[in-house]
Each structure stands twice: as C-alpha cells, then as structure tokens.
Amino acid sequence: MDLGEGIRQALAKLTRSTIIDAKTVKEFNKELQKTLLSSDVEVQLVLKFTKEIEERALKSKPPAGVAPRDYITNIVYEQLVGLMGSTYTPEIKRQKILLAGLYGSGKTTTAAKLAKFYQDRGLSAAVICCDVHRPAAYEQLETLAKTANVAFYGRKGEKDASKIVKEALEKFKDKQVIICDTSGRSALDGELVEELKQVTNTFKPDEKVLVVNADIGQVAGRQAREFDKAVKISGVVVTKMDGSGKGGGALSAAHAANAPVLFIGLGEKLNNIEPYDAEKFVGGLLGIPDIASLLSNVQEAIKEANIKPEEMQMEELDFESFYTQLKAMGKMGPLKNVVGMMGAPDVPKEVLEQGEDKLKKYGTIIASMTKKERKDEGLLHQSGRIERIAKGSGTTEKDVRGLITDFNKMKKMFKTMQNDRGFKKKFGKFM
C-alpha cells in the first residue's frame, strides 16, 4: 500500500464515524502513524505531525456550517502540506545549474529534463557531461540532449571534469541555461567531494541541486545534509515519483534537512518533470482532482504528437479521429498519472496495465487500416479485411473484432453526449 492509499483509507474510516470525539481522533492518528512510518517518513516527524493534528482537531471548533469530519480532513491536508515542504516557483532567467547525486538517482535524465523545461519556456539551454567515471554517461546524455533538442558538450576519455567545464563554458557563451551533470558514486566519498568542489569552483553555478530517488525514503535527509556539507546545496530534485510509495518519505526528509524540493520527476519521458507544488502533491495523496495539470498535460501531448488543434475537434467519432485521440493519450505518460489527475488514484494496478496494453494494441490495429477504412467502419465487414488488418498489425482477428465492438460502444456514448444539452452545458463550464 502506498502513502496516498493509506491516508485515504484512514480518512475514509474517520468520515464513516458517526461521532468525531477524542477516541476517534486518536484511532485515526494511529492509522496515520502506521501509514507514514511504512512509507519511510522519519519517526520524530510522524509523532510531531500526528500530535499537531490531534491538538488542532480537539482544541478548536469547526466554523459554522462545516461538518467535523470535513474540518479534520482539512486539518490533515494543511498539516501534510506543512510536512512536505514549500511550493517552488522556478525563475525563468539566465542561470547555471550543477547537478549532484549518487548512482541510480536519475541525475543524467534530470539534466536533459531540466534543459528541456527551460528551453520550452523560451530560454536557450545546454547540458555538459562531467560524469567522467560511468562509461555510458557520455552516450546517454548525448542521446537525451538530441531528443530534447538542446545543446550538448562532453569529452570522451577525459578524466579531468574541471577541464570539460572550462571548455563547455567557452563553447556555450550564448546559452542562457547551462546544466552540468557530475559524476556519481555508490556513496559520498572523499574523491567525489574533491571532484565536486573543483567542478563547482570552475563552473560557478547559481544553483547546486542534489538529485535523489523517491524510493530512498528518509535517507534523502541524510544525503541532503552530507552533500550540503560538501558543496552547500541550494535544493533537491526528487525523481521516480510516479507511483512510488516512498515519495512522501523522501520529500518530508528533504524538508526536515532544510533542503527545499525544487522539482519532481514523474516518469521516464523528458516532459515528465514539474516544479514541486506541495498543495498539488498532497491533493494527489488525498485523491483531489488536478484539472489544471490534466489540461496542461493534454495540451503538451497534442503538441508532442504533432497533432493540429482542429484534429482534436470531433463532429463525428470514426477510427481516424479515435486514432488521433490515442496518439495524444500515448504522449501523456503512464495511465496511473492520468487517472490520478482525474481524482481516481485507487484504480487497481492490473486494470491500468490492461488498459495501457489495450490502447497500444488498438493504436497498432488502426495504423494497419487504410484511410478509407478509418473513415468508414462498414468497410471492415467486407470479406478478408479483418484478416488483412490482423496480419498487418501482428494481432489476431479476435483482437480486431474486439476493437470494433469497443469502438461502437464509444460511438454510441459519444452520440448520447452530443445530444445531451445539459451535459454539454456542464462540460463547457467545467472546461
């Protein structure tokens, strides 16, 4: 059970209680403590956090018209926001960012993600490969830089990281955001500290950022303190936050170590990174829909899939327009993230996996259809067409028929929504 699921279950028990008294609050706190501790949040933080909830819940009264259970839910929300740290708003300006971290933290991918993040906001960006120890680091960052369409510099075989930085700074004088990816280790040792100090002195970064993996939990706090002692870090990026049960432990530990969380990584794709928003993160834990992010994600996916805005406007649902929707969905990242933004984080994992597999298969099948077949579903019932499409897509005839059946159900639902004026009015207001 991950952190969000545990908190939601504890809150559900509380809201089902007929009376909210001291006993109910204490029982709720016990459930909360178990959940936070199993998600690797530090013991002292957990005790302080639950004590504050108990005091606020029992010593204050709900405002007029607010039910006690809603009032306590709001207290939990506010306390969680405090526990997880402050919201970060990145400055869109000329800057140099140094990334540090241990092996497996996701440092190299983060370098490319950040470069793309700033370049997408109008700043020219470049990345420097200063990982002179990991053999595949050069190729990995070079490939990611090409994908992100940002400038890259590194020197294969060069063991002096400071020398690489000096050459890169000369080359990238015209770049507004320069990100330096440094070497990692399995542990912070004297050699790594010395190399970081030399690179820092040459690079003179505006931000010194520690990259940590969400799965390390409260160890994030210790790493933050150790790296801060070595090079005085200005913030933390927490990676692999997509579906990690330990994410809360890493965030709360970083906050406790006075290391502000700047960004969180939400998946493997280069646009799966966002500035850390404590309220949004806690809202996700509690199952509160994040419509702003959902719409932003849709717009980004449409752009990335090279779909024209008019292609998303559907007067009629056919396989052509459905294929366009599938292409956009494929760019939106893991289905778990999408349903989480919709305020439905508890959809079973196996259902999501089956859904993702089915959507991929449907996309492959439609890609094997002719343009006429995509526009006119009736053609598919002619002899030999289903067999040809199945062979062309590497699927079975049963799969193709399954798509046709599901598509007709969607088509029926689409027509119903089109003819429902009340629904259209509500949907318009929602958007």
Residue-wise pLDDT for 321-374, tens only, equals 777 776 666 666 665 666 555 555 555 555 555 667 777 888 889 889 998 988
The answer to whether 26 touches 50, Cβ cutoff 8 Å, is no
Single-letter code of the amino acid located at 117: F
What domains does the chain contain, in order, with CATH numbers?
Answer: 3-84 (1.20.120.140), 95-286 (3.40.50.300), 291-430 (1.10.260.30)
Phi, psi (deg, nearest 5) at residue 177? -125, 120
Q: Quote the pLDDT of residue 165.
A: 96
Task: Pick the closest to residue 230 from 255, 251, 210, 256 (CA basis).
Answer: 210
Residue-wise pLDDT for 244-260, tens only, equals 556 888 888 888 888 89
- Give me the mean pLDDT over the 3-30 stretch: 82
Single-letter code of the amino acid located at 138: Y
Q: Is the pLDDT of residue 427 over 50?
A: no
The DSSP call for residue 370 is: -
Q: Is the pLDDT of residue 140 over 90?
A: yes
What Rg value do the Cα atoms of the chain yield, rounded?
A: 25
Assign 299 a pLDDT band (cuts: 50, 70, 90): low
Assign 13 a pLDDT band (cuts: 50, 70, 90): confident
Q: Quote the pLDDT of residue 337.
A: 63
Q: Is the pLDDT of residue 421 over 70?
A: no
Q: Quote the pLDDT of residue 261.
A: 93
Q: Is the pLDDT of residue 301 over 50?
A: yes
Residue-wise pLDDT for 22-69, tens only, equals 888 888 889 989 988 888 888 888 999 999 988 888 888 777 777 777
Q: Quote the pLDDT of residue 406.
A: 81
- Give me the mean pLDDT over the 228-239 stretch: 92
Q: Quote the pLDDT of residue 430.
A: 42
Helices 107-119 and 137-148 cross at an angle (nearest 10°) of: 20
